[in-house]
């Protein structure tokens, strides 16, 4: 059975942290490939304007160029209306029954996953690989969060033994609006695309 990692998200923009997690997942769990799957209209981000999917998809394609184990997938972005991870993974599994899927996420997403649409369906539909990052104060330790979700939802959650890059797409967009450099956070080709299309300036 082919082992496929799924990197989902708005990728607005895609950044080096996404690539770092994907590479670690490939190495640590011997995945055959990682599919980068930009979302369509994410229902949890209706409070802000998400960049047009053509830009987000173009940046993902530039970011993964030259990485033979990485592939672009329009499976979600091509669907109309709001897209939910639960539905996406169920449809994906039905269309690719010979694949074993692993959903790759950062630790922050694991703490928020019960706020996702029908989290019980999400956690039942796919195995999760989560970045090993601890948060102080407001969150329980990551191992405790994994244990809690495993026991409550019978989820399969395994850790990626690499730390998340301490940057988010929100922070990158904010830095660009302020005219600050982002070269350390996004691939050069992505930064050039952002500049040439004047993204995130307003």
For residue 72, the 8-state DSSP code is: E
> Could you report the per-residue pLDDT of 65-76, keeping only the tens digit for each?
999 999 999 999
The 10 Å Cβ neighbour count of residue 166 is 9
- Listed in sequence order, the residues at least 6 apart from 49 whose beta carbon sits closer than 8 Å to its beta carbon are none
- Position 164 scores a pLDDT of 73
For every residue of 122-136, DSSP letters joined together read HHHHSEEEEE-----
* Contact predicate 158/147, CB 8 Å: no
Q: What is the mean pLDDT of the chain?
A: 92
Distance CA 40, CA 57 (A): 10
Distance CA 116, CA 44 (A): 8
pLDDT band, residue 61 (cuts 50/70/90): very high
pTM of the complete model: 0.93
Burial class of residue 154, CB neighbours in 10 A (0-12, 13-18, 19+)? exposed
Q: Reply yes or no on whether the pLDDT at 45 is more than 70.
A: no
> Could you report the per-residue pLDDT of 122-175, keeping only the tens digit for each?
999 999 999 987 665 567 899 999 999 999 999 999 999 987 788 899 999 999
- Position 44 scores a pLDDT of 53
**pLDDT (mean) for 33-55:** 82
- SS3 state of residue 184: coil
Distance CA 29, CA 101 (A): 12
pLDDT band, residue 178 (cuts 50/70/90): very high
Q: Reply yes or no on whether the pLDDT at 112 is more than 60.
A: yes
């Amino acid at each position: 059975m082919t082992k496929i990692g799924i990197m989902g998200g708005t990728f607005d923009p895609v950044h080096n942290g996404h690539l770092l997690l994907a590479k670690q997942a490939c190495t640590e769990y011997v995945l055959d490939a990682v599919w980068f799957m930009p979302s369509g209209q994410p229902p949890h981000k209706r409070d802000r304007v998400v960049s047009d999917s053509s830009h987000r998809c173009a940046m993902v394609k530039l970011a993964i160029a030259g990485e033979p184990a990485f592939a672009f997938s329009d499976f979600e972005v091509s669907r109309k209306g709001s897209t939910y991870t639960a539905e996406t993974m169920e449809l994906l599994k039905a269309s690719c029954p010979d694949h074993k899927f692993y959903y790759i996420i950062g630790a922050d997403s694991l703490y928020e996953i019960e706020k996702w649409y029908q989290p019980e369906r999400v956690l039942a539909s796919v195995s999760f690989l989560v970045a090993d990052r601890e948060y102080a104060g407001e969150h329980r330790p990551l191992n405790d969060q994994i244990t809690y979700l495993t026991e409550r939802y019978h989820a399969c959650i395994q850790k990626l033994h690499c730390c998340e890059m301490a940057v988010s797409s929100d922070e990158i967009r904010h830095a660009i609006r302020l005219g600050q450099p982002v070269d350390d956070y996004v691939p050069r080709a992505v930064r050039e695309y952002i500049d040439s299309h004047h993204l995130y300036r307003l």
